[in-house]
Structures are given as structure tokens and as C-alpha cells.
Amino acid sequence: MITINENFKALSENYLFSEIARKVASYKAQNPKAEVISLGIGDVTEALSESVIQALHTAVDEMADRATFRGYAPECGYDFLKNAILENDYLARGISLSSDEIFINDGAKSSLGHFGDILSANNIVAVSDPVYPVYVDTNVMEGRKITYLACPPEKEFAAQIPDGKVDMIYLCSPNNPTGSVLNRGQLTAWVEYARKHKAVILFDSAYEAYISDPTIPRSIYEINGAKEVAVEFRSFSKTAGFTGVRCGYTIVPKKLQAYDKNGSGVSLNALWRRHQSTKFNGTAYIIQRAAEAVYSIQGKRQTLATIAYYMNNAKTILDGLKRAGFKAHGGVNAPYIWLETPTGMTSWEFFDKLLNECQIVGTPGVGFGPSGEGYFRLTAFAKAENVEKAMERMMALFYS
Ligand code: MLT
């Protein structure tokens, strides 16, 4: 008799964004004329940059010619992309790494989800509350025990270090969903905690390109000692509009170790390489060429312009919410705005009200964890004209 992974029974029936998509589809079916504006899932709306498009065309032409055609890509990425990442994202910022510490993938989500494969199911996982649901759901699937870290509003939603010992710590800065960032002091405290407890930090910096404050670290490796305790996950999705193209990378330093049952150190870089070469056949050549183009002079300029466009949306949302009488957080170093729902209204009630009365889709805070109740997330990833329209609708409904 075939049996299931019982851990799946502990998951909610649908992934958060699938549940929202289901509700919106049902609303649209009943209200076919409604002009629904999505500020829900953080999905980009602006076209890929010209540099990326040109690189894609060139790579497609190479695939059409026997002389330049490529088959399987190296499982951990082509050197041309790893070197571009190394030079631009790390060496240029004073962080020394080597290219065999970089693993190219098809976006941060899958590597974040799979990284647990190389770690024991007995590890205790710590996540912030509220949290990006992927960290929780993937660990529930593997049967790990999860502990929630307090993220008090008076501490700007920064994950607080626990009194006890945990083994796997997920940190996300700039944060999805609260839009907050961890400063150097806070990250240093986490690195010290991880070193003391022989824990590993899984640092999700998918939104680092949105940091405008130069004092905020963009990489955890800006903190001394982090290479011994941290993995970093990055993505071209939000940096360069690759949500539908799929490319990201993970940094697994060679100094980083976890321990076997006898307490002997084992290289996570070696285990992750073994994992990827077994379960992954590499990101497509044309996509890696497209990602490389993000680092060309023109590519950088075009990418920055798109980021500025989204951050201008964030400002429109923050200003609009303030005028309409809401308290809102984030949206300065991150493309997410975390607002407080009107008194007495749960985050799903607010979701329904916004959808039914303003035709705006957002994300209920409670979908990100128990402490998200009473909050609601709006994304700056949208067309500017829709953001303006959405704020006008909210003003009309809530301004008093
Ligand atoms: C979000 O809206 O939280 C993100 O788009 C989800 C993701 O990046 O997978």
C-alpha cells in the first residue's frame, strides 16, 4: 500500500497566494465588469530591460546554431554568470567569496524550499512572525518543529533573538511582508547567536536591491564571522523582473559547517553541491545569459530605473494611506507596505472589504502568521496608474 508523507496533513489546504487567487477568481466571475487592481502577490509588472531582452535574443540565436548550441548546463551555474555575480554583488562591496561558493538556480523559492534536504529533520527551526510562508510550509513538509520569533511593532518588526537554542534561523531583510530591515547591530547579534549555538542562518535577501539607506547591510557577509554560519539566498525576480523568467542564486560559503551525529563538522557547500547535482539539471543557458546582462553598464542603469519606478509606487501608497488615515510601515527600503487594519477588523475582513468595495486585492497579514492579524500587506509591484487609482479608491472609502 502506497502511503503519503503524513507531514502534509499539518499544512493548510492551500498555499496563501493560491488561496487569494482562488477568491479573486471567484469575485471576478461574479463581477465580470469590475476593474480589479492587484496589490496582492509581489509580482512585477514592468517589462524586462532592453539589455536583458537583447541577451535573450542573442542566446536564442546561439541555440539555433550547431556550432554554439548548448545542452545540459552545469548544475551549479555557468562561470560567466557566477563571475558577474561575484564581481558586482560581492567583490565590489568588499566581500571576498569564490565562484564555487555561488550556486545558480531557478529562483530563490525553490532553493529556500529544498535547502532543508541537507539538514536533519530534528533541527528546531526559528522563523519570524509574521513570515514569508515558504519557510514554514517547507519545514512542515519535512516534519520539523517550528518556533516563532517575536517581531514587535515597537522594535520595527525586527525578529527578536530567542532565550533558548534553535538550529535553523530564517531571516529576511528587507522583510517580506513587513517591509522592515535589519541593521548592522541586529545582524551582528544574530551572527553571534548562531556562532554560539552552532546554528545556521538562512538569510533571504531577495529584496536587497530595494535598500535605499546606505547603512543597512545588503548581504549578511558584511558582518564579521557570517561566512561560518550563514547561507544567503538571492534572486533576479524582484531585482530585474525575472518572476516569469526564473533565475536566482544561493551562496554557501566553504567555511560553513553543520555537524553529523558524532559532532564532526561537515561542509554544507559540499552537501549542497551533491544535492544540486543530483536533483537539479541547471538553469537554462539563455536565462543565465539574460541574468548576466543585468550586470552590464546599460543593464544596471535600466534595472535601477525600474526599481525607482516601483519605489515611487511605494511612496504613492504610503502617502495615500496616510492621507486616508491608516498607520503604515515599510515601503522605504522595501517594496512592501504593512498597514494596520481599521480598529475591530480582522485582516481577512479587510481583504473582503477592499475587494468588494474598492476592487483592490491585497494580502491579509494573518496569512503570514498569527502576529500578522490586524495587518495587511500592499505591494509596490504594480503599474503606477493602477497604484494611483487604488489610492483614490481607498481615500474615497476611508477618508473621513
Ligand atoms: C510575495 O508576494 O510574497 C512574493 O511574490 C512571493 C514570492 O516571491 O514567492
Please, what are the domains in the chain?
Answer: 6-47+298-398 (3.90.1150.10), 50-296 (3.40.640.10)
If you measure from the C-alpha of residue 387 to the centroid of ligand 1, how many angstroms do you get, rounded to a whole number?
18
If you measure from the C-alpha of residue 43 to the centroid of ligand 1, how many angstroms do you get, rounded to a whole number?
7
If you measure from the C-alpha of residue 177 to the centroid of ligand 1, how many angstroms do you get, rounded to a whole number?
9
Residue nearest (by alpha carbon) to ligand 1 atom 8: 42
State which of 132, 237, 375 you would mutate to test the pocket of ligand 1, scoring each by most atoms of that ligand within 8 A of its C-beta.
Answer: 132
Query: What is the number of the ligand 1 atom nearest to the C-alpha of 243?
Result: 8
Other C-beta atoms closer than 10 Å to the C-beta of 385 total 9
If you measure from the C-alpha of residue 262 to the centroid of ligand 1, how many angstroms do you get, rounded to a whole number?
39
Three cell numbers written together for 342 = 481599521
Residue nearest (by alpha carbon) to ligand 1 atom 4: 42
- The reported pLDDT for the residue numbered 5 is 97
If you measure from the C-alpha of residue 299 to the centroid of ligand 1, how many angstroms do you get, rounded to a whole number?
24
Contacts of 47 (CB under 8 A, 6+ apart): 53, 241
Taking only Cα atoms into account, the Rg of the chain, rounded to an integer number of angstroms, comes to 21
CB 311 within 8 A of CB 380: yes
User: Measuring from each residue's beta carbon to the nearest atom of ligand 1, which residues come in under 6 Å?
Assistant: 41-43, 109, 132, 176
CB 198 within 8 A of CB 216: no
Condensed to tens digits (0 to 9), the pLDDT of residues 266-293 reads 999 999 999 999 999 999 999 999 999 9
Other C-beta atoms closer than 10 Å to the C-beta of 397 total 14
> Rounded distance, CA 263 to CA 282, Å?
33
Type and span of the H or E element at 129: strand 124-129
Residue nearest (by alpha carbon) to ligand 1 atom 9: 109
> Rounded distance, CA 293 to CA 110, Å?
23
Condensed to tens digits (0 to 9), the pLDDT of residues 169-206 reads 999 999 999 999 999 999 999 999 999 999 999 999 99
- Would the pTM of this model clear 0.95, i.e. be above it? yes
> Rounded distance, CA 252 to CA 103, Å?
8
> Rounded distance, CA 130 to CA 370, Å?
7
Query: What is the number of the ligand 1 atom nearest to the C-alpha of 132?
Result: 3
If you measure from the C-alpha of residue 16 to the centroid of ligand 1, how many angstroms do you get, rounded to a whole number?
10
If you measure from the C-alpha of residue 384 to the centroid of ligand 1, how many angstroms do you get, rounded to a whole number?
19
Residues of the chain with pLDDT under 70: none
